[in-house]
């Protein structure tokens, strides 16, 4: 076991897959000689050369389109978005091309590509750099969407995403890059379509992902500190498309109560889709309405205090749980 930072776990996954398979390449802004904005590709250009770690112009639509073409010819490109918010400039390439070409070509082309990079609400990065794109892309057919949350699953999920024959949107949170965790020395891969039970419990199911996983575990510590007799089950969704409904259903059949905690916007967010699916498939299992804790439907303020108020904090999760458990909704 070796203590590894989140961004180094991603780098190790990329390095191992590039060493294993010569069709894997990386492209994006400053990924080469600079080593990436968050050093996920540090020194990889020296090791694999400029053609496999390719610095691109500041033109997201162009290099995402180039990656789709590379994937069609049998390569496995990894696109790094310097900030995932600016991949909105490549929405057409990701949706109409990456997501649909395997279908519209009648299966003649596979699109084995990964689009990864930092997103989420950072610390005073401003509205354009604090995007939550998972909801934007959730309705696009043909895409897989994954949100990693720890160094362990970041490495295992990225390796799986690189090997997958479908386009994978791989979301990393900008405030998780310095997380540390002991990772095994042996190779491992995490399933792209499976949720993780972070904490087993019996009273309420908390569904969450990305950075909010850690807010939920902090909320549990607050519950214990306050002496509240609640036993929540925390599930890290990991796969945002498709959802692991088997794991979700198993938990709800045990707890009969649900809180969804997300950093995504409330209107049309990931939680909105989850609420619809749970009500369709598991309505009779619910003893109370589903509680949705989401970010404010406003552009993220630059002001630090206001920014803090726009996203869900651990005390709000505790408060929601108290109301849910006492049926004061």
Give the three-state DSSP class for 208. strand
Q: How far apart are CA 8 and CA 177, in angstroms?
A: 8
pLDDT, average across residues 59-82:
96
- Copy the structure tokens of residue 179: 């997380």
Q: How far apart are CA 311 and CA 19, in angstroms?
A: 40
Please, what is the Cα angle at 305 between 127 and 176, to 5 degrees?
65
pLDDT tens for 293-327 read: 999 999 999 999 999 999 999 999 999 999 999 86
Scanning 164-283, the segments in alpha helix (DSSP H) are 212-225, 245-255, 270-282
173 is catalytic: no
Q: pLDDT at position 327, please? A: 67
Q: Out of 17, 60, 80, 262, which one is annotated catalytic?
A: 60
Give the three-state DSSP class for 311. coil
Q: How far apart are CA 320 and CA 324, in angstroms?
A: 6
Q: Domain 2-183 is of which CATH architecture? A: 3-Layer(aba) Sandwich (3.40)
180: preceding bond cis by omega (within 30 degrees): no
pLDDT tens for 265-284 read: 999 999 999 999 999 999 99
Q: How many CB atoms are closer than 10 A to CB 19?
A: 11
Q: How far apart are CA 142 and CA 102, in angstroms?
A: 8
Which CATH topology does 196-325 take?
Rossmann fold (3.40.50)
For CATH 3.40.50.970, the residue range(s) in the chain are: 2-183
129 is catalytic: yes
Concatenating the DSSP letter of every residue in 250-277 gives: HHHHHH--EEEEEEEESTT-HHHHHHHH
Closest by alpha carbon to 78, among 172, 181, 213?
172
When computed from its CA atoms, the radius of gyration of the chain, rounded to whole angstroms, is: 20
Q: How far apart are CA 112 and CA 216, in angstroms?
A: 33
pTM as predicted: 0.95
Phi-psi region of 4 (alpha: psi -120 to 50; beta: other; left: phi over 0): beta
Give the three-state DSSP class for 153. helix
Least confident of 60-69, 138-147, 320-329: 320-329
Give the three-state DSSP class for 169. strand
pLDDT, average across residues 144-156:
97
Q: Out of 29, 129, 214, 273, which one is annotated catalytic?
A: 129
DSSP 146: E
Q: 328 pLDDT exceeds 70? A: no
pLDDT, average across residues 132-144:
94
Based on the number of CB atoms within 10 Å of its own CB, is 114 exposed (0-12), middle (13-18) or buried (19 or more)? buried
Q: pLDDT at position 237, please? A: 98
Q: How far apart are CA 71 and CA 74, in angstroms?
A: 5
For CATH 3.40.50.920, the residue range(s) in the chain are: 196-325
Q: 104 pLDDT exceeds 50? A: yes
Q: pLDDT at position 329, please? A: 44
Q: How far apart are CA 80 and CA 86, in angstroms?
A: 11
Positions of E strands within the chain: 2-5, 24-28, 53-55, 76-80, 114-119, 144-147, 168-173, 180-183, 196-199, 204-208, 232-236, 239-241, 258-265, 291-295
Q: How far apart are CA 92 and CA 220, in angstroms?
A: 41
Average pLDDT, the chain: 95
Q: 199 pLDDT exceeds 50? A: yes
């Amino acid at each position: 076991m070796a203590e590894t930072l989140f961004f180094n776990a991603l780098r190790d996954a990329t390095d191992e897959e590039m060493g294993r398979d010569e069709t894997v390449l990386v492209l994006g802004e400053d990924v080469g000689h600079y080593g990436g904005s968050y050093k996920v590709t540090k020194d990889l250009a020296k090791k694999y050369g400029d053609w496999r770690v390719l610095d691109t112009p500041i033109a997201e639509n162009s290099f995402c389109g180039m990656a789709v073409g590379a994937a069609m010819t049998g390569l496995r490109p990894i696109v790094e978005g310097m900030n995932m918010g600016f991949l909105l400039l490549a929405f057409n390439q990701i949706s109409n091309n990456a997501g649909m070409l395997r279908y519209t070509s009648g299966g003649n082309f596979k699109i084995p590509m990964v689009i990864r990079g930092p997103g989420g609400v950072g610390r005073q990065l401003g509205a354009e750099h604090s995007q939550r794109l998972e909801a934007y892309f959730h309705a696009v057919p043909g895409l897989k969407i994954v949100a990693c949350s720890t160094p362990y699953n970041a490495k295992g999920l990225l390796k799986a995403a690189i090997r997958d024959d479908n386009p994978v949107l791989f979301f990393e949170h900008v405030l998780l890059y310095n997380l540390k965790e002991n990772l095994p020395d042996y190779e491992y891969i995490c399933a792209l379509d499976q949720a993780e039970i972070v904490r087993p419990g019996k009273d309420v199911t908390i569904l969450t992902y990305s950075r909010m996983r850690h807010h939920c575990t902090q909320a549990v510590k607050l519950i214990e500190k306050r002496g509240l007799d609640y036993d929540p089950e925390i599930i890290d969704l990991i796969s945002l498309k498709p959802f692991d409904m088997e794991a979700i259903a198993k938990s709800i059949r045990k707890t009969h109560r649900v809180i969804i905690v997300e950093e995504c916007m409330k209107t049309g967010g990931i939680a909105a889709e989850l609420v619809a699916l749970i009500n369709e498939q598991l309505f009779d299992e619910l003893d109370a309405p589903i509680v949705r804790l989401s970010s404010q439907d406003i552009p993220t303020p630059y002001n630090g205090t206001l920014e803090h108020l726009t996203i869900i904090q651990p005390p709000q999760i505790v408060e929601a749980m108290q109301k849910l458990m006492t049926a004061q909704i």
